[in-house]
Chains A and B, each alone.
Chain A
């Protein structure tokens, strides 16, 4: 379970995140939805402990993510917005390296690596060096290495960004499977279809603050729109600009 409260972060004169609070619970897929530059990635970076918030708190399964980021990270599996891989290592070696960094022992790593390769359908590429991998293949490796320690909380920053149809379906399948296992999945996207296809709970972020949150049905009801896309446009304030500007 991930709970953030009044998160704030300023870069120079720009207030990138301005009092974001929400909760992502277990067994649910929570979507962070917002236009580019709304502060989604900055908020996620503070949640996964690589950026220190100016104010506010991060709670991961009861662990204070700001005070003890390492303990919080042990409970998280994260795929950041760049899936930086080592071009001279194979997917198998990537998963193994991250397993070792999480302090897992050899046998456990071996077993989980095989499981992940099997479930992410990576058998044909498992022993090839990753240089020259397609975007979809790279994403799979990045997800696999983030899951090797079986984290309860999974954070994915724009996981389907730039993927082709088949890879997008594969990633969605992974997310649904994680939810079925009772995990807490938090992912960000600026694509409406992604969020509506997957999310149980949507947090709409605009200009660094939470504009609205709730189930897709609740958001439709609140805005009085017929579909989520219109609701999204109304919530992030683009509608106003269209009408008045």
Chain B
């Protein structure tokens, strides 16, 4: 009997068993869907907020005193003037308005005398959500003031540039853009997590579950070498994990296609080549993650204990991200062969628009495979132990 026969028989049985397990299916689907959905939802919220800024209703008290200013504001587009509330300060304080403009009665008189006009902009400095709106209104008013001032200088035969000692060019890195970039940086993490959540159910059910049900002893009575049985179980977990990774990645990419990233000022190219690069970078992680899960689950005394270990394992793929947020990992060649770190760096490179050398892909895949091989060997050793076979 060839090795491949046993491996294939065990692998097929475990997959069949797992896909009849509603709990396993739900965890696979939820694991694949939740990340992309979450990011999509967040993008949607940011986009909504962005649209709020673009389409402002500005309540004005005393609009009748400054028809010229109102006319100018209306010409700016994306802003509409509405009647202001009787008590502007109370309205802002009670969260009825984000911002209110108050025009003084003396507007026309001050204007004709070329005296500074005291406009009041009522806003709540502690309300973060109102910031973009307030900033937009203030910059409009500042621009209006500058235009009028320039015109007055011109009328007096002075070049407006004389009054402009410094010109500040605003390069906006708005918070929306930052948030969008941060959200994008979560996507690789979700894909990596899918490698762990995708194979988890099979890895635990086919080891700790098999022990707990008492089906391990009869299974090992079949004249098949332990390493073939272990390899078959592992392959089933790898298939499920790879399925999780692929579906998460595809969902992420589909979602990104629907989000107009340019609107957020985020430069992010996403071609099928990069998609394949991401998959090539992460799939070796499936080999490693499932081998680690299987080893720990076989070791566990019960299914419950195994699930506890799985929860702790989920932390592992997050570690490189946490470390790199404190001190960037960089992209030195020696990072690539380190399991999990290598995949993290590869992914960062691909998504950052740089193409890592093919040797780096091979190197990180080989190291993941090597570590997986050692873990499988250790797991096979556990499958030989009488305490593991009979001890429950």
B302 at the A/B interface (Cβ < 8 Å)? no
Residues of A within 8 A of B221 (CB): 48-50, 73, 76, 78, 80, 146
B6 at the A/B interface (Cβ < 8 Å)? yes
Query: Is B223 within 8 A of A102, CB to CB?
Result: yes
B268 at the A/B interface (Cβ < 8 Å)? no
Among B20, B210, B222, contact of A101 (Cβ-Cβ < 8 Å): B222
Query: Is B213 within 8 A of A101, CB to CB?
Result: no
Residues of B within 8 A of A85 (CB): 213, 215
Residues of B within 8 A of A84 (CB): 210, 213-218
Residues of A within 8 A of B16 (CB): 89, 93
> B211-252: contact bitstring with A at CB < 8 Å (1 yes, 0 no)?
001111111111111000000000000000000000000000
Nearest residue in B to A97 (C-beta to C-beta)? B13
Residues of B within 8 A of A233 (CB): none
Query: Is B9 within 8 A of A100, CB to CB?
Result: yes
A244 at the A/B interface (Cβ < 8 Å)? no
Q: How far is the CB of A89 from chain B (nearest CB, A)?
A: 6
Question: Which chain B residues numbered 347 to 392 have a C-beta less than 8 Å away from chain A?
Answer: 386, 389-390
Nearest residue in B to A74 (C-beta to C-beta)? B223
Query: Is A87 within 8 A of B213, CB to CB?
Result: yes
Total interface residues on B, CB under 8 Å, equals 27
Residues of A within 8 A of B17 (CB): 86, 88-89
Residues of A within 8 A of B6 (CB): 101
A103 at the A/B interface (Cβ < 8 Å)? yes
A145 at the A/B interface (Cβ < 8 Å)? yes
Residues of B within 8 A of A49 (CB): 221
Nearest residue in A to B22 (C-beta to C-beta)? A88
Total interface residues on A, CB under 8 Å, equals 33
Residues of B within 8 A of A102 (CB): 222-223
Query: Is A101 within 8 A of B386, CB to CB?
Result: no
Q: How far is the CB of A154 from chain B (nearest CB, A)?
A: 12
In the bound complex, how far is the Cα of B1 from the Cα of A129, in angstroms? 29
Query: Is B222 within 8 A of A73, CB to CB?
Result: yes
Residues of A within 8 A of B222 (CB): 73, 98, 101-102
Q: How far is the CB of B29 from chain A (nearest CB, A)?
A: 18
Chain A CB within 10 Å, residue with most, of B9, B20, B222: B222
Residues of B within 8 A of A83 (CB): 214, 218
In the bound complex, how far is the Cα of B210 from the Cα of A85, in angstroms? 9
The main secondary structure of chain B at its interface with chain A is helix
Query: Is B223 within 8 A of A50, CB to CB?
Result: no
Among B5, B20, B386, contact of A88 (Cβ-Cβ < 8 Å): B20
B55 at the A/B interface (Cβ < 8 Å)? no
Nearest residue in B to A142 (C-beta to C-beta)? B218
A238 at the A/B interface (Cβ < 8 Å)? no
B110 at the A/B interface (Cβ < 8 Å)? no
Residues of A within 8 A of B20 (CB): 88-89, 129
Nearest residue in A to B216 (C-beta to C-beta)? A84
Query: Is A70 within 8 A of B225, CB to CB?
Result: yes
A71 at the A/B interface (Cβ < 8 Å)? yes
Residues of B within 8 A of A128 (CB): none
Nearest residue in B to A42 (C-beta to C-beta)? B390
Q: How far is the CB of B142 from chain A (nearest CB, A)?
A: 69
Residues of A within 8 A of B217 (CB): 50, 80, 82, 84
B263 at the A/B interface (Cβ < 8 Å)? no
A179 at the A/B interface (Cβ < 8 Å)? no
In the bound complex, how far is the Cα of B1 from the Cα of A71, in angstroms? 12
In the bound complex, how far is the Cα of B206 from the Cα of A88, in angstroms? 13
> B293-315: contact bitstring with A at CB < 8 Å (1 yes, 0 no)?
00000000000000000000000
Question: Which chain A residues numbered 18 to 49 have a C-beta less than 8 Å away from chain B?
Answer: 45, 48-49
Residues of A within 8 A of B5 (CB): 100, 103
> B265-302: contact bitstring with A at CB < 8 Å (1 yes, 0 no)?
00000000000000000000000000000000000000
7 closest pairs, A vs B, by CB? A84-B215, A84-B214, A82-B214, A101-B222, A103-B1, A74-B223, A88-B20
- A sample of 4 more A-B contacts (CB under 8 A), given A83-B218, A86-B213, is A73-B221, A80-B214, A84-B215, A101-B10
Question: Residues of A at under 8 Å CB distance from B?
Answer: 45, 48-52, 70-71, 73-74, 76, 78-80, 82-89, 93, 97-98, 100-103, 129, 142, 145-146
24 interchain pairs, CB-CB under 8 A: A50-B217, A50-B220, A50-B386, A51-B390, A52-B386, A73-B222, A73-B223, A80-B214, A80-B218, A80-B221, A83-B218, A84-B213, A84-B217, A86-B17, A86-B215, A87-B213, A89-B13, A89-B16, A100-B5, A101-B10, A103-B223, A129-B20, A142-B218, A146-B221
